[in-house]
A and B are shown apart, each in its own frame.
Chain A
Amino acid sequence: MERRDFFKKAIGTGLIAGAALKLTGYNALFAAENTTSTAAPGDKIDLVAVMGGEPDVMFDKGIAELGGMQAFVKPGQTVVVKPNIGWDQPVEVGANTNPVLVKRIIQHCFNAGAKEVYVFDNTCDKWMNCYKNSGIEQAVKDAGGKLVPADSKNYYREVSIPNGVNLKKAEVHEKILDCDVFINVPILKDHKGGRISVCMKNLMGIIENRYWWHGHNLHQCIADFATYSKPALNVVDAYRVMLKNGPRGISSEDCVIKKSLLISTDMVAADAAAAKIYGIEPDEVEYIKLAHAMKVGNKNLTELNIKRIKV
């Protein structure tokens, strides 16, 4: 009865939700404008690191340092927000991006004038269960975005990766290929295959056959793909960090509350900083080293202009 329900509610609640969203959205925008004044004008910030608040509050503070969402999303543009929704797990387990953060990012996009905000992930567990039980389905609905499926080959188109060493082509989700702005919203977590899962690893959720990567030098494939797909913005959810049994997790006991958030246009920088939050050196993660060498970004945190904010 999902569909019928949808039809019934789409018109009624859609209008109300939309109106409510507009109100909260504008408030958030004001808050953002208030904090931008703290940043020194003219300095190019490579990475914003926020700590100590709730995910949505940290994002408000952090994005303001980069000139607000309007620096990335222009009126009338189509946006894809790509969280990690890989597993049929509740928020406490920390296997999926925090829905509070996802919701806030979508609101910022609409406030900046986005025409449409799409959200999806090529999940590991059954997609419908992942979308629903992660809390992201509700978050997207509340924010007025559109959650789209990614479980069929039909949604993907082949692209070539000219700078790839191992990976010469990949099938990428059509929403990524067709959108104006791609915002990558991974959660930082344990991952024995890749060591940690952050920005570049999260891109495995926009391609069709990720198992091929596992069989052909995973790290090289991750780095190869990063040369092709560079999100306009990366927001790392490190509020609840899974330190073991990743990336699926068994229970909330696998996590530590770190209340952190990273924002950067540079995936390599964000992954390097995330590695430090996780508790390892960036050089222990091979794909970070490879991507740095392939000039995807800069892993040397000391060379970066990092804006640190405590909430």
Chain B
Amino acid sequence: MKILKPLRVVVAVIFMLFTTLLFLHFNSFLKIPDISVILELQYIPSLLKFLQGVTWIAFGFVVFTLLALLFGRIYCSFICPLGILQDFFIRVNRLLSKRNKNRYSYHQSLKWLRHLITGIALVSLILGSTSLLIWLDPYSHFGRMATHLLQPIYYFGNNGLALIVNHLGYYGIYRIEVHTFHWATFLFASFILVLLLALTRIKGRFFCNSLCPVGGFLSWISKVSIFRLAFEPSKCISCSRCEKACKAESIDYKNMKIDFDRCVACYNCVDTCNVNAITYQVRFHKKAASNSKNETIDSGKRQTLKSILFAGTALSGLSFTIDKESFSSFVSKNPAKSKLPVLPPGAISITHFKGTCTACHLCISACPSNVLQSTFIEFGIDGMFIPKMNFDVNYCQYECNLCGDICPTGAIKPLKLEDKKITQLGKVQFIKDNCVVSQLEKDCGACAEHCPTKAVKMVPYPNKSGKNLFIPEVNTDLCIGCGACEHPCPVRPHKAIYVESNPHHLLAQKPVIKKIETPKSEQEEFPF
């Protein structure tokens, strides 16, 4: 039994390390085969994948549901990055505290809140919406902290190092700019971080037993676990060490009672007990208490939650302000902005995306060009923080399909590169009256230059001054909506060319490849 805690720590450290590395700098870790497969073990993402009818086994939630049925909430301390993060805080706290002692005592957590949240999460899943999971899923909370709080710190350190080694003439380490900052997401992730720091300090794993839907659901299952931690009364010397060590505050040593449904399977009690009085025991008797009463949703509470969400909306602002610096020597007048947010390739439709994305922001942390950015309420109040393609920051790289490959929930489906290259995220719109060529009667061509499919091409532009000019002409059939035209357009405040989002992705035509007609490809004489 004593092996349980070291085992848990080893597994947790490995998972935490790899998960964190995935979020920190995805590109460089792609070379390790299948590292992102570890995310298949995450509970909510694998469940969402399963609900989409993915043919192969989405095994994470199956494994940990079965394990819960056998041994309790293994997920919570072995795999859940937010759980492991809390354990890390608790450990640091203990190292820093003067008494260096465990000081938890048996408390009932907010049972009604746990059941309410779990119920709400379940109902929202059944209704095909992730709007509440965004606010509750522990993995996604961790993802946003890693992307918006940890990654910038990592980049800062990297850039410091780069400054030094570049100065010494070594360029294998290079600067990486932080392009992912998004104020609302930053505040939200910071709030959860501070909340966890505070809660772990006073109440241990309180979050996991009151606010976490995965913890809540697994607590229902572990009510009926076959093997469960329990006291062996003959051995117990009532020393209270186990109760003080229990981060879930679920051990009552005086009554030799363990609330196993709240146990997060950290095995600190097993480890700390000098007389081996806490062991896994088979449980056959005693019926599980029915929770059906608590499963019904308290509409009043839900209303309150909704009004909190609306209050948040009132504080809304721009998510990413367009570069105000005047790029063009005239001011454009016609608004040029997609009505709906543009989805990443593989996201299928706004309905699919909103029904499956939990805003873990793995794609945002990994996107090589940083075109994927967090949103606030662009997807509506029921889809906050979901990523979108933000062409003010950059454009989607033609040769890249990374986001679909790594998305753990199936919100962004993996696409073969050849399929991604004809997936139409939106359609290009050209506003002639905003264009440099028509307004200044000067050459530009930045949009057509970047277009990978030549959906935007330059055609002769007859003009008053009789100059030999070219102006963009668009062919939406060829357009894939990558934003390569919108991003470099130098006109401000409204660009002359932009991508109008397809709420449901379409297929574009393949680029036209035509051979150049020349009688002979090699010249024999110099043309001058």
> Out of B29, B369, B442, B528, which one reaches A217, CB within 8 Å?
B442
Asked if A158 is an interface residue, CB under 8 A from chain B, the answer is: no
Asked if A54 is an interface residue, CB under 8 A from chain B, the answer is: no
Which residues of chain A in 145-162 are interfacial with respect to chain B, using CB atoms and an 8 Å cutoff?
146-149, 151-152, 154-155
With A192-B458, A258-B522, A273-B528 already in contact, the answer to whether A149 and B446 are too (CB < 8 A) is no
Nearest to A309 among chain B residues (CB) is B526
Smallest beta-carbon distance B517→chain A, Å: 10
CB-CB < 8 A to A51: which residues of B? 523, 526
Segment with Cβ contacts to A, from B112-120, B139-147, B173-181, B378-386: B173-181
Q: B172 to A256, Cβ gap below 8 A? A: no
Nearest to A52 among chain B residues (CB) is B522
Smallest beta-carbon distance B155→chain A, Å: 11
Q: A133 to B399, Cβ gap below 8 A? A: yes
CB-CB < 8 A to B440: which residues of A? 217
Q: B448 to A192, Cβ gap below 8 A? A: yes
Q: A194 to B443, Cβ gap below 8 A? A: yes
Q: A146 to B169, Cβ gap below 8 A? A: yes
With A2-B28, A193-B458 already in contact, the answer to whether A248 and B449 are too (CB < 8 A) is yes
Bound-complex Cα distance A193 to B169 (A): 37
Asked if B254 is an interface residue, CB under 8 A from chain A, the answer is: no
> Out of B172, B452, B457, B526, which one reaches A2, CB within 8 Å?
B172
Asked if A276 is an interface residue, CB under 8 A from chain B, the answer is: yes
Interface centre among A195, A214, A260 (most CB of B within 10 A): A214
* Residues 50-63 of chain A, each 1 if its beta carbon lies under 8 Å from chain B, else 0: 01000000000000
Q: B458 to A214, Cβ gap below 8 A? A: no
CB-CB < 8 A to A279: which residues of B? 527
Smallest beta-carbon distance A135→chain B, Å: 15
Bound-complex Cα distance A219 to B399 (A): 31
Smallest beta-carbon distance A168→chain B, Å: 13
Smallest beta-carbon distance B63→chain A, Å: 29
* Residues 275-289 of chain A, each 1 if its beta carbon lies under 8 Å from chain B, else 0: 011010000101000
Which residues of chain A in 249-294 are interfacial with respect to chain B, using CB atoms and an 8 Å cutoff?
250-251, 253-260, 272-273, 276-277, 279, 284, 286
Asked if A129 is an interface residue, CB under 8 A from chain B, the answer is: yes
Q: Count how many chain A residues have C-beta atoms less than 8 Å from C-beta atoms of the other chain.
A: 64
Interface centre among B169, B175, B442 (most CB of A within 10 A): B442
Q: A193 to B444, Cβ gap below 8 A? A: yes
Asked if B108 is an interface residue, CB under 8 A from chain A, the answer is: no
> Out of A124, A217, A308, which one reaches B450, CB within 8 Å?
A124
Asked if B398 is an interface residue, CB under 8 A from chain A, the answer is: yes
Which residues of chain B in 327-365 are interfacial with respect to chain A, using CB atoms and an 8 Å cutoff?
327-329
Segment with Cβ contacts to B, from A19-27, A35-43, A228-236, A239-247: A239-247
Bound-complex Cα distance A116 to B170 (A): 12
Asked if B238 is an interface residue, CB under 8 A from chain A, the answer is: no
Q: A253 to B172, Cβ gap below 8 A? A: no
CB-CB < 8 A to B458: which residues of A? 192-193
Asked if B324 is an interface residue, CB under 8 A from chain A, the answer is: no
Q: A256 to B521, Cβ gap below 8 A? A: yes
Asked if B514 is an interface residue, CB under 8 A from chain A, the answer is: yes
Which residues of chain B in 486-510 are interfacial with respect to chain A, using CB atoms and an 8 Å cutoff?
488-491
With A193-B443, A211-B488, A250-B453 already in contact, the answer to whether A244 and B516 are too (CB < 8 A) is yes
Bound-complex Cα distance A155 to B159 (A): 12
CB-CB < 8 A to A272: which residues of B? 528
Bound-complex Cα distance A215 to B326 (A): 9
Asked if A306 is an interface residue, CB under 8 A from chain B, the answer is: yes
Asked if B397 is an interface residue, CB under 8 A from chain A, the answer is: yes
Interface centre among A216, A253, A272 (most CB of B within 10 A): A216
Other A-B contacts than A215-B490, A245-B457, 16 sampled, CB-CB below 8 A, are A2-B172, A51-B526, A146-B169, A149-B171, A191-B449, A193-B444, A193-B449, A218-B444, A246-B449, A250-B513, A256-B516, A256-B521, A258-B523, A277-B527, A306-B528, A308-B526
